[in-house]
Structure formats: structure tokens, C-alpha cells
Amino acid sequence: MQDALVTSLVGLVIAGAAPDVLANPPKTVPRNDYLQRSAQAGTLRGDEVVFSGRRITIPMVAVAPGAPDTTFEIHGQVNPILVIPAGAKVRFELANVDKGMPHGLDVTIQGPPYTTNPDLPMQKTPAKIIGNPLRSPGRHAVISLGIAPRRSKGPLVVNHSAWFTLQPGVYHYVCPVPGHASAGMHGRIIVEKRHR
């Protein structure tokens, strides 16, 4: 059943992995430009941020200025529900604005509560998973974006996943750093069928 949920699994192996398995190297971007782009991403609909189109980049911020600790922010919302159309090619970007802690992003079918991490290792992710369905229970798509804490008020380091596609259903984005998902660093993704 899990195989039917994903049409393509792609990922960026967490920081510290061998360079030849990285899908996309991190880049630096002007801090205010990225924060503004994330705050304007998608369209707000209640507690959801809705995205449209066939190629969607979702710029996320880990612990945005003024936001609660261990949270993701998109469109100025804390851990919002993300709504994307089925069949769209999606790419997540993540900038860590937290001064003292690394953060990452994984997509999984396992929802809360997260009493422990949802089987999302932060230390090593095998290179063989890139482009292949992951078969371990509770995990669906791995988009590990291990980003070290920021060190200055200068440009932000932004990591991004490779493009991937999800079938209609409910998924969850979580931080794979131990204890972060259980502390509230997670949100829901709803993949809706395209209406004709």
C-alpha cells in the first residue's frame, strides 16, 4: 500500500553525507529576501497554506524570528497545513534561523503524536534510498535537510530537496533532530486530487 502512495521518492541526504550522494548543494541567500519569500508563499485559506501549479517550491523557515521554539514557518504561519495538488512536482527549501540548534525536514506518512522520533535518523541516510521507495514502516519520503544553526545575521544557508511527486493522501513534515517532532516541530501535508 505504501508503494502506491508515492510515485517518486527523491531526497537530499543530510549534511555530513558523502558529497556524491547530495541531490542539491546548499546555497546562501539574502536573509530578508528569503524570510519575505517564505512569508508570501502559497495562499492562506484558514489554517492551511494552499499551493497551486505543476512545479511548486515551498520555502520553509526553521524557528523564524519571533516564532515559538521548535517550529516551522510558512506564509507567516506556525506549522501550517500544506495543501498541494496531486501530480505536482514539489521541492522543499529550508533555512534554519535558529541560533543554537540544527534542524531538518523529513516527509513521512506517520502522524503525531511523536513520543519518539518517527524513525527518522539524523546521523546517516543511505545513498541507496535516493530515487527509490523506502520500505521501512512509518517512513514514506525522506527529504532530510540537515542545516546547522545560523552563526550570524548575514545570508541564510538554504538547503533544498530534489523534485518529487506525491499521490493524493495525507503526509506529515517533521524535523528529524531527536526530540524536535515530539516538541511540536511538525505539520500536515494534504495532497488533493486535481479537479478538472
pLDDT at 101: 85
As a whole number, mean pLDDT of residues 84-100 equals 90
As a whole number, mean pLDDT of residues 154-171 equals 85
CATH code of the domain containing 144: 2.60.40.420
Instruction: Determine whether 142 is exposed, middle or buried from the number of CB atoms within 10 Å of its CB (0-12, 13-18, 19+).
Output: buried
pLDDT at 102: 87
Q: Which residues contact 23 (CB under 8 A, 6 or more apart)?
A: 10, 11, 12, 13, 130, 161, 162
Average pLDDT, the chain: 74
Identify the band that residue 134 occupies on the pLDDT scale cut at 50, 70 and 90: very low
pLDDT digits (tens, 9 = 90+) for 96-107: 888 878 888 888
- State the DSSP H helix or E strand holding residue 24, giving kind and residue range, or none if neither: none
- Peptide bond before residue 19 is cis, with ω within 30 degrees of 0: no
Residue-range definition of the domain harbouring residue 182: 2-192
Q: Would you say the pTM of this structure is higher than 0.85?
A: no
pLDDT at 158: 86
pLDDT at 159: 85
Report the number of distinct structural domains present in the chain: 1
As a whole number, mean pLDDT of residues 181-195 equals 90
74-78, 95-99, 121-125: range with highest mean pLDDT: 74-78
pLDDT at 33: 92
Identify the band that residue 76 occupies on the pLDDT scale cut at 50, 70 and 90: very high
- Name the least confident of 39-43, 82-86, 135-139: 135-139
- Residue 37, helix vs strand vs coil: helix
Per-state percent for the chain, helix, strand, coil, to nearest 5 = 10, 35, 55
- State the DSSP H helix or E strand holding residue 163, giving kind and residue range, or none if neither: none
pLDDT at 191 over 90: yes
